[in-house]
Structure 1
Amino acid sequence: MSKLKIAVQKSGRLYEDSLQLLKDCGIFINNGKDQLKVSVDNFPMEIMYLRNSDIPQYLEDGVVDIAIVGENLLVEKQKKITVVQKLGFSKCRVSLAVPKEIETDDLAYFQDKKIATSYPNTLKNFLEKNKITADIHVISGSVEIAPNIGLADGICDIVSSGSTLFKNGLRETVTLLQSEAVLAKTSSLDQEKEVILEKFLFRIKAVLKAKKSKYILMNVPNEKISDIASVLPVLKSPTVIPLAEKGWSSIHSVIDEERFWEVIDELKENGAQDILIIPIDKMVI
Structure 2
Amino acid sequence: MDPIAPSEARDRLRIAIQKSGRLGPPARALLSSCGLAWREQADRLFCRGETLPVDLLLVRDDDIPGLLDSGACDYGVVGRNVLLEYAGRRPQETGSAAAVELRGLGFGGCRLDIAVPEDWDWQGPAQLQGRRIATTYPRLLDRWLVAQGVQADVVTLSGSVEIAPRLGQADAVCDLVSSGATLRANQLRPVVTLLQSEAVLAGPARPFADARGALATMLLRRLDGVLKLRDSRLLLFQARRDAVPGLMQLLPDAEPPTVMQVDGGDTLALQALCHGAMTWQRLEQLRSAGARGLLVVPVERTLA
Please report the TM-score for the alignment, with normalisation by the length of structure 1: 0.90
Secondary structure of the 1:257 match is coil
Deviations 1:169-222 (A, max 9, x none): 211110111111111114684332122111100110000000132221223245
Instruction: Report which stretch shifted further, 199-208 or 104-113.
Output: 104-113
Establish whether residue 55 from structure 1 lines up as the match of residue 64 from structure 2.
Answer: yes
Q: Is contact 1:229–1:238 with CA below 8 Å preserved after alignment?
A: no
CA contact (8 A) 2:228 2:275 kept: no
% identical equivalent positions? 33
Query: Per-residue deviation at 1:240?
Result: 3.3
Aligned residue for 2:4?
A: none
Unaligned runs of 5+ in 1: none
- Report how far residue 77 of structure 1 moved: 0.7
1:242–1:248 Cα contact (<8 Å) kept: yes
Q: Secondary structure at the match of 2:164?
A: helix
Residue 256 of structure 2 aligns with which residue?
236
Q: 1:41 and 2:60 equivalent? A: no
Distance 1:252 1:241 in 2: 12
Q: 1:126 to 1:47 in 2, by over 3 A?
A: same
Is residue 219 from structure 1 mapped to residue 238 from structure 2 by the alignment?
yes
Q: Distance in 1 between matches of 2:58 and 2:237?
A: 46
Residue matched to 1:173: 191
Deviation at 1:158, TM superposition (A): 0.9
State the secondary structure of the residue aligned to 1:191.
Answer: coil
Hey, what's the Cα distance between the residues in 2 that align with 1:103 and 1:261? 44
More helix by share: 1
CA positional deviation for 1:249: 4.3
Of residues 138, 151, 158, the one that matches 2:169 is 151
Q: Of 4, 16, 22, which aligns to 2:31?
A: 22
Q: Which residue of 1 aligns with 2:201?
A: 183
**Residues 72-151 of structure 1 mapped to structure 2, 5 A cutoff:** 72-78=81-87, 79=90, 80-104=98-122, 106-151=124-169
CA RMSD of aligned residues (A): 2.4
Distance in 2 (CA, whole Å) between partners of 1:262 and 1:172 is 34
The answer to whether the 8 Å contact 1:243/1:250 transfers is no
Q: Distance in 2 between matches of 1:237 and 1:174?
A: 44
Question: What amino acid does structure 2 have at the position aligned with 1:25?
Answer: C
Deviation at 1:282, TM superposition (A): 1.9
Q: Please say which of residues 15-24 and 95-104 is displaced more in the overlay.
A: 95-104
Amino acid at match of 1:150: G
Distance 2:145 2:302 in 1: 43
Instruction: Tell me which residue corresponds to 1:276.
Output: 295
- 113 and 156 in structure 1: CA distance in 2 versus 1, 3 angstrom threshold: same
Contact (CA 8 Å) 2:14, 2:54: kept in 1 or not? yes
What amino acid maps onto 1:82 in structure 2? Answer: V
State the alpha-carbon separation in 1 of the partners of residues 35 and 301 from structure 2: 11
Q: 13-22 or 264-273, which moves further after superposition?
A: 264-273
Deviating above 3 A after TM superposition, structure 1's stretches of 4 or more consecutive aligned residues are: 186-191, 229-234, 238-241, 246-250, 258-266
Compared CA separation, residues 98 and 230, structure 1 to 2 (3 A): closer
Q: Does 1:256 align with 2:265?
A: no
Instruction: Give the number of equivalent residue pairs.
Output: 284
d(CA) in 2 for partners of 1:151, 1:120: 15
CA deviations on 1:91-137 (whole Å, 9 max, x unpaired) are: 11211001112231511221111111000010011101111111111
Residue 32 to residue 44, structure 1, CA distance change in 2 (3 Å): closer
TM (normalized to structure 2)?
0.85
